[in-house]
Protein backbone atom coordinates (compact mmCIF):
# COMPACT_ATOMS: atom_id res chain seq x y z
CA UNK A 1 0.00 0.00 0.00
CA UNK A 2 2.82 2.34 0.92
CA UNK A 3 4.60 1.60 -2.36
CA UNK A 4 1.38 2.21 -4.29
CA UNK A 5 0.88 5.61 -2.62
CA UNK A 6 4.49 6.53 -3.32
CA UNK A 7 4.04 5.56 -6.97
CA UNK A 8 0.87 7.66 -7.28
CA UNK A 9 2.57 10.65 -5.66
CA UNK A 10 5.53 10.28 -8.03
CA UNK A 11 3.26 10.10 -11.07
CA UNK A 12 1.35 13.21 -9.99
CA UNK A 13 4.61 15.09 -9.61
CA UNK A 14 5.75 13.86 -13.02
CA UNK A 15 2.51 14.90 -14.70
CA UNK A 16 2.64 18.30 -13.00
CA UNK A 17 6.24 18.86 -14.10
CA UNK A 18 5.43 17.78 -17.65
CA UNK A 19 2.47 20.16 -17.79
CA UNK A 20 4.64 23.09 -16.72
CA UNK A 21 7.23 22.31 -19.38
CA UNK A 22 4.53 21.81 -22.01
CA UNK A 23 3.31 25.35 -21.47
CA UNK A 24 6.37 26.66 -23.33
CA UNK A 25 6.39 25.70 -26.99
CA UNK A 26 9.59 24.72 -28.74
CA UNK A 27 8.92 27.17 -31.58
CA UNK A 28 6.73 30.19 -32.20
CA UNK A 29 4.64 28.18 -34.65
CA UNK A 30 3.85 25.50 -32.04
CA UNK A 31 2.08 27.63 -29.43
CA UNK A 32 -1.37 26.72 -28.10
CA UNK A 33 -3.01 30.00 -27.06
CA UNK A 34 -6.14 30.30 -24.97
CA UNK A 35 -9.25 30.52 -27.11
CA UNK A 36 -12.10 33.00 -27.37
CA UNK A 37 -14.55 32.51 -24.46
CA UNK A 38 -11.80 31.15 -22.20
CA UNK A 39 -10.62 33.18 -19.22
CA UNK A 40 -7.17 34.66 -18.65
CA UNK A 41 -5.37 33.10 -15.66
CA UNK A 42 -5.62 34.50 -12.15
CA UNK A 43 -1.95 35.45 -11.79
CA UNK A 44 0.04 38.45 -10.62
CA UNK A 45 2.18 40.75 -12.74
CA UNK A 46 4.74 43.39 -11.78
CA UNK A 47 3.89 47.04 -12.22
CA UNK A 48 6.25 49.66 -13.60
CA UNK A 49 6.79 50.73 -9.98
CA UNK A 50 7.96 47.21 -9.11
CA UNK A 51 4.86 46.12 -7.19
CA UNK A 52 3.18 42.73 -7.57
CA UNK A 53 -0.37 43.28 -8.78
CA UNK A 54 -3.13 40.65 -9.18
CA UNK A 55 -4.12 40.64 -12.85
CA UNK A 56 -7.81 40.35 -11.91
CA UNK A 57 -7.54 43.70 -10.11
CA UNK A 58 -6.19 45.30 -13.28
CA UNK A 59 -8.85 43.77 -15.52
CA UNK A 60 -11.83 44.60 -13.33
CA UNK A 61 -11.22 48.30 -13.94
CA UNK A 62 -12.74 47.92 -17.39
CA UNK A 63 -12.82 45.87 -20.57
CA UNK A 64 -9.23 45.61 -21.72
CA UNK A 65 -6.99 45.45 -24.75
CA UNK A 66 -4.08 43.29 -23.62
CA UNK A 67 -0.91 43.76 -25.68
CA UNK A 68 1.85 41.14 -25.38
CA UNK A 69 5.15 42.23 -26.92
CA UNK A 70 8.71 40.91 -27.07
CA UNK A 71 10.45 43.81 -25.36
CA UNK A 72 11.63 47.38 -25.67
CA UNK A 73 14.61 46.19 -27.71
CA UNK A 74 12.30 45.15 -30.59
CA UNK A 75 11.70 47.95 -33.15
CA UNK A 76 8.52 46.27 -34.42
CA UNK A 77 7.15 46.20 -30.87
CA UNK A 78 7.98 49.85 -30.30
CA UNK A 79 6.22 50.85 -33.50
CA UNK A 80 3.14 48.88 -32.52
CA UNK A 81 3.07 50.21 -28.96
CA UNK A 82 3.31 53.74 -30.33
CA UNK A 83 0.63 53.15 -32.99
CA UNK A 84 -1.81 51.84 -30.39
CA UNK A 85 -0.94 54.77 -28.15
CA UNK A 86 -1.95 57.16 -30.91
CA UNK A 87 -5.51 55.79 -30.88
CA UNK A 88 -5.74 55.38 -27.11
CA UNK A 89 -8.28 58.21 -26.79
CA UNK A 90 -10.59 56.49 -29.28
CA UNK A 91 -10.11 53.14 -27.55
CA UNK A 92 -10.89 54.68 -24.16
CA UNK A 93 -13.97 56.37 -25.63
CA UNK A 94 -15.28 52.92 -26.57
CA UNK A 95 -14.92 51.86 -22.93
CA UNK A 96 -11.64 49.95 -23.09
CA UNK A 97 -8.33 50.34 -21.29
CA UNK A 98 -4.99 49.36 -22.85
CA UNK A 99 -2.46 47.32 -20.89
CA UNK A 100 0.87 46.03 -22.14
CA UNK A 101 2.93 43.02 -21.02
CA UNK A 102 6.49 42.00 -21.82
CA UNK A 103 9.45 40.13 -20.29
CA UNK A 104 11.13 43.49 -19.60
CA UNK A 105 11.98 44.55 -16.06
CA UNK A 106 10.11 47.52 -14.53
CA UNK A 107 13.14 49.72 -15.24
CA UNK A 108 13.06 48.85 -18.93
CA UNK A 109 9.29 49.27 -19.04
CA UNK A 110 9.88 52.88 -18.00
CA UNK A 111 12.31 53.32 -20.88
CA UNK A 112 9.72 52.00 -23.36
CA UNK A 113 6.97 54.14 -21.85
CA UNK A 114 9.05 57.32 -22.16
CA UNK A 115 10.53 56.44 -25.55
CA UNK A 116 7.12 55.84 -27.12
CA UNK A 117 5.32 58.53 -25.10
CA UNK A 118 2.80 56.00 -23.80
CA UNK A 119 0.00 56.92 -21.44
CA UNK A 120 -1.31 53.39 -20.89
CA UNK A 121 0.09 50.99 -18.31
CA UNK A 122 2.86 48.45 -18.91
CA UNK A 123 3.50 45.38 -16.74
CA UNK A 124 6.44 43.03 -16.42
CA UNK A 125 6.04 39.31 -17.03
CA UNK A 126 9.78 38.68 -16.70
CA UNK A 127 9.51 35.07 -15.54
CA UNK A 128 6.99 34.27 -18.28
CA UNK A 129 4.29 32.94 -15.96
CA UNK A 130 1.51 34.90 -17.68
CA UNK A 131 2.74 34.30 -21.23
CA UNK A 132 3.00 30.57 -20.54
CA UNK A 133 -0.47 30.46 -19.01
CA UNK A 134 -1.86 32.35 -22.02
CA UNK A 135 -0.25 29.74 -24.25
CA UNK A 136 1.87 32.19 -26.24
CA UNK A 137 5.35 31.53 -24.81
CA UNK A 138 8.03 29.71 -26.75
CA UNK A 139 11.71 28.96 -26.27
CA UNK A 140 13.69 31.94 -27.48
CA UNK A 141 16.43 31.45 -30.08
CA UNK A 142 19.86 31.37 -28.45
CA UNK A 143 20.88 34.56 -30.21
CA UNK A 144 18.46 36.46 -27.95
CA UNK A 145 19.73 34.97 -24.66
CA UNK A 146 21.99 37.80 -23.48
CA UNK A 147 19.54 40.48 -24.59
CA UNK A 148 16.61 38.85 -22.77
CA UNK A 149 18.70 38.38 -19.65
CA UNK A 150 19.71 42.03 -19.70
CA UNK A 151 16.24 43.47 -20.35
CA UNK A 152 14.55 41.25 -17.75
CA UNK A 153 17.18 41.93 -15.06
CA UNK A 154 18.15 38.26 -15.11
CA UNK A 155 14.65 36.86 -14.57
CA UNK A 156 13.80 35.65 -18.07
CA UNK A 157 14.24 31.84 -18.17
CA UNK A 158 14.73 31.90 -21.95
CA UNK A 159 11.32 32.59 -23.46
CA UNK A 160 9.64 35.03 -25.80
CA UNK A 161 5.93 35.74 -26.13
CA UNK A 162 4.44 35.59 -29.61
CA UNK A 163 3.21 39.17 -30.15
CA UNK A 164 -0.50 39.05 -29.37
CA UNK A 165 -3.56 41.16 -28.70
CA UNK A 166 -6.36 39.86 -26.50
CA UNK A 167 -9.57 41.79 -25.87
CA UNK A 168 -11.17 40.73 -22.60
CA UNK A 169 -14.12 41.79 -20.45
CA UNK A 170 -13.95 42.74 -16.77
CA UNK A 171 -14.14 39.07 -15.79
CA UNK A 172 -11.14 38.20 -17.92
CA UNK A 173 -13.15 36.36 -20.58
CA UNK A 174 -11.48 36.52 -23.99
CA UNK A 175 -13.69 38.22 -26.59
CA UNK A 176 -11.16 38.54 -29.42
CA UNK A 177 -7.55 37.65 -30.13
CA UNK A 178 -4.95 38.41 -32.77
CA UNK A 179 -1.84 36.25 -32.63
CA UNK A 180 0.88 36.24 -35.26
CA UNK A 181 3.97 33.99 -35.03
CA UNK A 182 5.59 36.41 -37.49
CA UNK A 183 6.74 39.17 -35.13
CA UNK A 184 6.83 41.65 -38.02
CA UNK A 185 3.09 41.36 -38.53
CA UNK A 186 0.84 43.26 -36.09
CA UNK A 187 -2.83 44.13 -36.08
CA UNK A 188 -3.36 47.58 -37.58
CA UNK A 189 -4.85 50.40 -35.56
CA UNK A 190 -7.73 50.63 -38.01
CA UNK A 191 -8.61 46.95 -37.68
CA UNK A 192 -8.29 47.01 -33.89
CA UNK A 193 -10.68 49.96 -33.65
CA UNK A 194 -13.16 48.25 -35.95
CA UNK A 195 -13.02 45.09 -33.84
CA UNK A 196 -13.65 47.05 -30.65
CA UNK A 197 -16.61 48.83 -32.23
CA UNK A 198 -18.10 45.55 -33.41
CA UNK A 199 -17.70 44.01 -29.95
CA UNK A 200 -19.54 46.95 -28.39
CA UNK A 201 -22.47 46.40 -30.73
CA UNK A 202 -22.97 42.77 -29.70
| Predicted confidence (pLDDT) per residue in 136-187, tens digit | 999 999 999 999 999 999 999 999 999 999 999 999 999 999 999 999 999 9
Q: What is the 3-state secondary structure (H, E, C) of the chain?
A: CHHHHHHHHHHHHHHHHHHHHHCCECCHHHCCCCCCCCECCCCEEEECCCCEEEHHHHHCCCEEEEEECCCCCCHHHHHHHHHHHHCHHHHHHCCEEEEEEECCCHHHHHHHHHHCCCCCEEEECCCCHHHHHHCCEEECCHHHHHHHHHHCCCCCCCEEECCEEEEECCCCEEEEEEECCCCCCCCCHHHHHHHHHHHHHC
Does 43 have pLDDT greater than 70?
Answer: yes
Domain range spanning residue 26? 2-201
Q: What is the mean pLDDT of residues 38-44?
A: 96
* Res. 17 pLDDT band, cuts 50 70 90: very low
Tell whether pTM > 0.85.
yes
Q: What is the CATH number of the domain that holds 132?
A: 3.40.30.10
What is the domain count for the chain? 1
Does 6 have pLDDT greater than 60?
Answer: no
What's the pLDDT tens digit per position in 50-97?
999 999 999 999 999 999 999 999 999 999 999 999 999 999 999 999
Amino acid sequence: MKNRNTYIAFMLLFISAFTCVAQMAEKNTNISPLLISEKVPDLSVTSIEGDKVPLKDVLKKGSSVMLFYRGGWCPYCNRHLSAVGEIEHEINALGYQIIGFSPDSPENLKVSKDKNDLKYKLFSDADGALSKAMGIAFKAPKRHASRLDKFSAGLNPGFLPVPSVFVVDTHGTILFEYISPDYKQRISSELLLEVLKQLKEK
